[in-house]
């Protein structure tokens, strides 16, 4: 476990054409399985489980969920029973994420997408608590107050670079961003890159969790590449280019979209000259295998840079 995670400056040549400094918060190095904001959002939830002597954790996610994989792994380490409410019907060939979660001991309960939409409603949660009376329930993605508390530490760990101007993060929910904005200084701003297609619902979630911070963040909604876990060839090309420049891998579901967005906006002149920008690597590399299987491509091939035919 690497905590605090490293804060590294990216090669000067990447920021020099735009007269900015680019830094990266390497939350991908926290742990090979529970890396990134998944560790942040589970940290205080698991402490609460221990404090109150729960022996069972229940949470929610999809077939490729980093949160599901991380929760399953941690529960195995702490000898806790673990149940995952999984969105969608069970596939004939399960994803690498779910396979690893099952091997870690998670009991995967598949529900229809329509039922899954009720995951945050009081009635549905009460029914689950009745069915699993000994379970500590963690919402999808760890999006509760304890999860947000953990995400505050992404910013506090950047104290050695107190004069940064912007910090960016990929967003599936508003929880990570809600934690980050709480620790920003008056001159600093956070930018969330929404990875799901749709209206700017992330802003509402951030404001629900962290009221009165609306001037501390903005959401970019144009970089979803078709929707969650979808892509266009230019995204993969960018990820390969970034890896060639830095030897740092990104994932195509979250971090690839965030980093693409930042470099696109650098070209568009969004960031003032002289800015110091921190890009948050939220981990999620475990999802690459399932993504490659789904689309029949290699993101980081050893000898070539093309799609499989």
Question: Is a pLDDT exceeding 90 seen at residue 160?
Answer: no
CATH code for the domain of 247: 3.40.50.1100
Same domain (yes/no): 25, 157: yes
In a domain, 309, yes or no: no
Give the C-alpha separation, 247 to 40, whole Å.
Answer: 24
Give the C-alpha separation, 275 to 164, whole Å.
Answer: 7
Same domain (yes/no): 27, 166: yes
Same domain (yes/no): 11, 153: yes
Residue pair 277/190 in contact (Cβ under 8 Å)? The answer is no
Q: Which of 85, 110, 142 is the last residue of a domain?
A: 142
Q: Which of 91, 120, 142 is the last residue of a domain?
A: 142
Binning pLDDT at 50, 70 and 90, where does residue 306 land?
A: very low
Same domain (yes/no): 180, 111: no
Average pLDDT over residues 176-202: 94
The CA-CA-CA angle for residues 158, 164, 170, to 5°, reads 70
In terms of DSSP H, where are the helices of 157-285? 175-181, 201-209, 233-246, 255-267
Q: If DSSP states are collapsed to H, E and C, what string results for 22-64?
A: EEEEEHHHCCCCCCHHHHHHHHHHHHHHHHCCCCEEEEEECCC
Give the C-alpha separation, 41 to 209, whole Å.
Answer: 14
Tokens of 135: 């379970």
Give the C-alpha separation, 290 to 257, whole Å.
Answer: 17
Residue pair 83/109 in contact (Cβ under 8 Å)? The answer is yes
Place of tokens 């929880």: 175
Same domain (yes/no): 211, 130: no
Task: Specify whether 247 is catalytic.
Answer: no
- For residue 104, give the nearest of 80, 81, 72, 64 by alpha carbon: 72
Q: Which of 86, 112, 142 is the last residue of a domain?
A: 142
Same domain (yes/no): 53, 117: yes
Average pLDDT over residues 190-198: 94
Q: What is the pLDDT of residues 50-93, one digit of tens each?
A: 999 999 999 999 998 999 999 999 999 999 999 999 999 998 88
In a domain, 2, yes or no: no
Tell me the backbone φ, ψ of residue 258, rounded to 5 degrees: -60, -50
Same domain (yes/no): 121, 55: yes
Q: Which residues pair with 194 in a beta bridge?
A: 171
Which pLDDT belongs to residue 303?
40
In a domain, 303, yes or no: no
Which pLDDT belongs to residue 229?
86
Question: Is a pLDDT exceeding 50 seen at residue 304?
Answer: no
- Count how many domains the chain has: 2
Same domain (yes/no): 118, 167: no
In a domain, 134, yes or no: yes
Q: Is 263 exposed, middle or buried (0-12, 13-18, 19+ CB in 10 A)?
A: middle
Which pLDDT belongs to residue 92?
85
Residue pair 53/28 in contact (Cβ under 8 Å)? The answer is no
In sign, the C-alpha dihedral spanning 67, 152, 6, 170 is: positive
In a domain, 301, yes or no: no
Same domain (yes/no): 189, 263: yes
Which residue segment(s) compose the domain that 133 sits in? 36-142
Among 185-189, 280-284, 305-309, the range scoring the smallest mean pLDDT is 305-309
Average pLDDT over residues 233-257: 96
- For residue 213, give the nearest of 189, 192, 239, 233 by alpha carbon: 189
Identify the active-site residue in 5, 35, 65, 203. Answer: 65
To which H or E segment does residue 168 belong?
Answer: strand 166-171
Question: Is a pLDDT exceeding 80 seen at residue 307?
Answer: no
Same domain (yes/no): 223, 134: no
Tokens of 185: 């200084």
Same domain (yes/no): 43, 185: no
Bridge-based pairing of strands 189-194 and 276-281 is unpaired
In a domain, 302, yes or no: no
In a domain, 305, yes or no: no
Give the C-alpha separation, 247 to 289, whole Å.
Answer: 18
In a domain, 307, yes or no: no
Tell me the angle at which helices 66-77 and 96-103 cross, rounded to the nearest 10 degrees: 10
Same domain (yes/no): 161, 285: yes
Tallying the residues shown for the chain, one arrives at 309
Which pLDDT belongs to residue 53?
96
Tokens of 133: 């009376």
Beta-carbon contacts of 95 under 8 Å, excluding residues fewer than 6 positions away, are: 63, 64, 290, 293
Residue pair 70/42 in contact (Cβ under 8 Å)? The answer is yes
Average pLDDT over residues 22-45: 94
Question: Is a pLDDT exceeding 50 seen at residue 305?
Answer: no
């Amino acid at each position: 476990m690497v905590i605090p995670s490293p804060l590294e400056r990216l090669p000067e040549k990447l920021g020099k054409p735009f007269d900015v400094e680019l830094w990266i918060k390497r939350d991908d190095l926290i742990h090979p399985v529970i890396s990134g904001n998944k560790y942040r959002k589970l940290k205080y939830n698991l402490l609460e489980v221990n404090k109150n002597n729960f022996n069972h954790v229940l949470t929610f996610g999809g077939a490729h969920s980093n949160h599901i994989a991380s929760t399953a792994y941690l529960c195995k380490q702490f000898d806790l029973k673990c149940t995952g409410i999984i969105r969608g019907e069970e596939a004939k060939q399960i994803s690498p994420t779910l396979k690893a979660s099952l091997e870690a001991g998670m009991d995967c309960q598949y529900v229809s997408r329509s039922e899954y939409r009720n995951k945050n409603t009081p009635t549905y949660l009460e029914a689950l608590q009745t069915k699993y009376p000994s379970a500590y329930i963690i919402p999808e993605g760890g999006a509760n107050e304890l999860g947000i508390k953990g995400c505050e530490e992404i910013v506090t760990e950047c104290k050695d670079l107190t004069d940064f101007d912007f910090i960016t993060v990929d967003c599936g929910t508003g929880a990570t961003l809600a934690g980050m904005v709480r620790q920003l200084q008056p001159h600093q701003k956070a930018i969330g890159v929404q990875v799901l297609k749709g209206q700017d619902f992330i802003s509402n979630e951030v404001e629900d969790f962290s009221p009165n911070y609306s001037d501390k963040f903005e959401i970019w909604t144009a970089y979803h590449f078709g929707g969650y876990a979808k892509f266009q060839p230019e995204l993969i090309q960018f990820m390969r280019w970034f890896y060639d420049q830095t030897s740092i891998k990104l994932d195509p579901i979250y971090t690839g979209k965030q980093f693409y967005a930042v470099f696109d906006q650098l070209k568009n002149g969004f960031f003032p000259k002289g800015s110091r920008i921190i890009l948050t690597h939220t981990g999620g590399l475990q999802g690459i295998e399932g993504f490659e299987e789904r689309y029949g491509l290699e993101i980081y091939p050893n000898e070539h840079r093309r799609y499989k035919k």
